[in-house]
Amino acid sequence: AQSVTQLDSQVPVFEEAPVELRCNYSSSVSVYLFWYVQYPNQGLQLLLKYLSGSTLVKGINGFEAEFNKSQTSFHLRKPSVHISDTAEYFCAVSDTGANNLFFGTGTRLTVIP
Amino acid sequence: DSGVTQTPKHLITATGQRVTLRCSPRSGDLSVYWYQQSLDQGLQFLIQYYNGEERAKGNILERFSAQQFPDLHSELNLSSLELGDSALYFCASSVGGRRTGELFFGEGSRLTVL
């Protein structure tokens, strides 16, 4: 089975500063990887996904993530954050048979003015 | 707006009671997924239906059951409720049965068991 570890439960960062949210996964098979965002009082929405091909994936709102197979990581980055990026971010993994989708425990990003 | 509709948005009930949560997927989506989000357990996959049939099962308790109807809406039934069942229950939908693509989430139903 797959699992996901999000190392930081909370990340405060000043506006316009860069941010990296860390995600490591565990799997004995090939995986698909996802980042979802949850704004306050809303459901989750997809930021970006890695299925195959280029290991650098670009998503919405200026976010990107890099798949690193040797380090089993899929860290999320943004070069300059905005107040509106304040939200909970979830990393998720599934096997390539897509039989299940496992979410991490989430990282709460707080952007400080 | 994801196009996924969940009702009710909030529900308060007592231990031992039974509730039903309803989900209407996006138009054209055949798969419906149910997730439970709580502070101590995070986001847990409960169950998936595809075109009316159960496709995958996660950490769903025996006290919980779900179904998907011919019009593709789904209901999650929670019975013999316990305090620990208090959580946010999300429904998500997707076009196909396999999660290679995007899941579209509703805004959730917040259940409080007193």
Give the chain A residue nearest B98 (alpha carbons): A98
For residue A77, what pLDDT is reported? 98
Contact indicator for A98, A32 with CB cutoff of 8 Å: yes
Core vs surface per residue A67-101: b (16+ CB within 10 A) or e: beeeeebbbbebeebeeebbbbbbbbbbbeebebb
Count CA within 13 A, CB hemisphere, residue A9: 4
Q: Please identify which residue in the block is written with the tokens 């196009």.
A: B3
Contacts of B46 in chain A (CB under 8 A): none
As a three-state string, the secondary structure of A14-67 is ECCCCEEECCEEECCCCEEEEEEEECCCCCEEEEEEECCCCCEEECHHHCEEEE
Contacts of A45 in chain B (CB under 8 A): 2, 104-105
Q: What is the pLDDT along chain A (113 residues), one digit of tens a residue?
A: 778 999 999 999 999 999 999 999 998 788 889 999 999 888 899 999 998 888 999 999 999 999 999 999 999 999 999 999 999 999 998 877 655 678 899 999 999 99
Per-residue pLDDT tens for A11-27? 999 999 999 999 999 98
Give A67 to chain B, closest Cα distance, Å: 16
Question: Is B42 in contact with A46 (Cβ distance < 8 A)?
Answer: no
Give A91 to chain B, closest Cα distance, Å: 11
Per-residue pLDDT tens for B8-36? 999 999 999 999 999 999 998 999 999 99
